[in-house]
Amino acid sequence: MVNYPHNLVRKPLPKVKQEKKHINFANRGMSFEAAINRTNEYYLSHQIAVIHKKPTPVQIVKVDYPKRSRAKIVEAYFRQASTTDYSGVYKGHYIDFEAKETHQKTAMPMKNFHAHQVEHMDQVLKQNGICFALLYFSSLKETYFLPARALIDFYQIDKGTKSMPLHYIRKNGIEIKENAYPQVPYLDIIDYHFLNGSKNL
Amino acid sequence: MVNYPHNLVRKPLPKVKQEKKHINFANRGMSFEAAINRTNEYYLSHQIAVIHKKPTPVQIVKVDYPKRSRAKIVEAYFRQASTTDYSGVYKGHYIDFEAKETHQKTAMPMKNFHAHQVEHMDQVLKQNGICFALLYFSSLKETYFLPARALIDFYQIDKGTKSMPLHYIRKNGIEIKENAYPQVPYLDIIDYHFLNGSKNL
């Protein structure tokens, strides 16, 4: 599993930044991400599916090669992801998804979905991959499985500047009830709605 | 596409390192990697398949947040990959592979395949993913498509310390003839050997 050390990254945040809303959002995002990572570890260890989070894309500018020790990256920058964060294989099917969290109670901000990611989702659907978003409303403690088609259609309206209302997500998605193990059992949705003949998503 | 700036990374290499064999090998590896990246770009732009190289896994230790400019990573280290480098979707099927190059004429060094990667290949096969390695012998200018099963079986013998003889690769793999576009047409092999009913790999 890819264990990206987010806590290490966030430690040096200056106070002025921590007061900003998007940092709070990101911090809350961690726990949902952790739940999904644990879900994927469960699926992997029980030989149910092989789904990994991709490494964070980093543009490396300068590397030092100190004598007698390993290469040290001394200048690098975060890059915008060109694909979704999670992908893998389940019963031969290609699985591809993005996970987002919000503390808002009535809508999911779309600014967290980049044009490249939405385009990638469209490309995956054209190749008959199973593609979706997992959306967590932390204040409501509700998680939704939203098929990529519904997300792409909504994104087309105004290229992602509008928030996606919860009622749109409820109408076009399926709620995932949290479990003990695995915590976010999204493969159940795939079994029921994609693989049992009712390809209606 | 993920465009990892290898040239930028390699520039600061001290001379003592550049004389070492594995640096030469890595430099040569670039051109094969570039050929595969271009192949994937071709497949993507022609809506044939969606296959991406994963970002290089990096462990981030320290990030600076300068005022009025973007976050700068000032301490990070390369991490060993826990999966293969390439994955994606082709006609609904999950595709997963690793690409390696050698200047040797009679064998492929196995030290470039890590235990985690071989284990990952095994997990993918259990989920009915299509998994393989693309092996390039630069001195011979020959490229082989080696099904993961054959690679895993060979790796089991001595846990990857032994080189894989070319005659083993020729016996268990399929040669890929280089093209103008795409350069390394590996999906032709998948069409012929995996998807046309002869699932004998």
Asked if residue A182 has a cis previous peptide bond (ω within 30° of 0), the answer is yes
Residues in B closer than 8 angstroms to A53, CB to CB, are: none
| Residue B158 pLDDT grade (very low, low, confident, very high; cuts 50, 70, 90) | confident
pLDDT reported for residue B130: 97
β-sheet bridge partners, residue A137: A102, A142
- Written as one string, the DSSP assignment of A29-69 is HHHHHHHHHHHHHHHHHTTS-EEEEPPPPEEEEEEE--TTS
> Which residue in A53, A63, A187, A195 has the most chain B C-beta atoms within 10 A of its own C-beta, making it the best mutation to test that interface?
A63
> Which residue in A3, A10, A50 has the most chain B C-beta atoms within 10 A of its own C-beta, making it the best mutation to test that interface?
A50
| Residue B81 pLDDT grade (very low, low, confident, very high; cuts 50, 70, 90) | confident
Higher pLDDT, B178 or B96: B96
Residues in A closer than 8 angstroms to B64, CB to CB, are: 12
Q: What percent of chain B has pLDDT over 70?
A: 83
What amino acid occupies position A110?
M
- Written as one string, the DSSP assignment of B95-133 is EEEEEEEE--SSEE-GGGS-HHHHHHHHHHHHTT-EEEE
pLDDT reported for residue B29: 43
**What is the per-residue pLDDT across B68-80, written as a single tens digit (0 to 9) for each?**
788 999 999 999 8
- Output the furthest CA–CA distance in chain A (Å, rounded): 60
pLDDT reported for residue A19: 35
Higher pLDDT, B195 or B41: B41
Distance between A56 CA and the closest CA of chain B, angstroms: 7
Note whether A77 contacts B60, CB cutoff 8 Å.
no
**What is the per-residue pLDDT across B83-104, written as a single tens digit (0 to 9) for each?**
999 999 999 999 999 999 999 9
Domain ranges of chain A: 6-55+81-193
Torsion of CA B164, B166, B168, B170, to 10 degrees: 140
Note whether B58 contacts A76, CB cutoff 8 Å.
yes
Burial (Cβ within 10 Å: 0-12, 13-18, ≥19) of residue B70: exposed
Residues in A closer than 8 angstroms to B92, CB to CB, are: 93-94, 127-129
Residues of chain A with pLDDT under 70: 1-30, 197-201
- CATH number belonging to the domain at A6-55+81-193, selected among 3.40.1350.10, 3.40.50.150, 3.40.190.10, 3.30.390.10: 3.40.1350.10
Quote ipTM for the complex. 0.80
Roughly what angle, to the nearest 10 degrees, separates helices B148-158 and B115-126? Answer: 140
CB atoms within 10 A of CB A6: 16
The topology under which CATH files domain B6-55+84-195 is: Trna Endonuclease; Chain: A, domain 1 (3.40.1350)
Cα(B72)–Cα(B62) distance, integer angstroms = 9
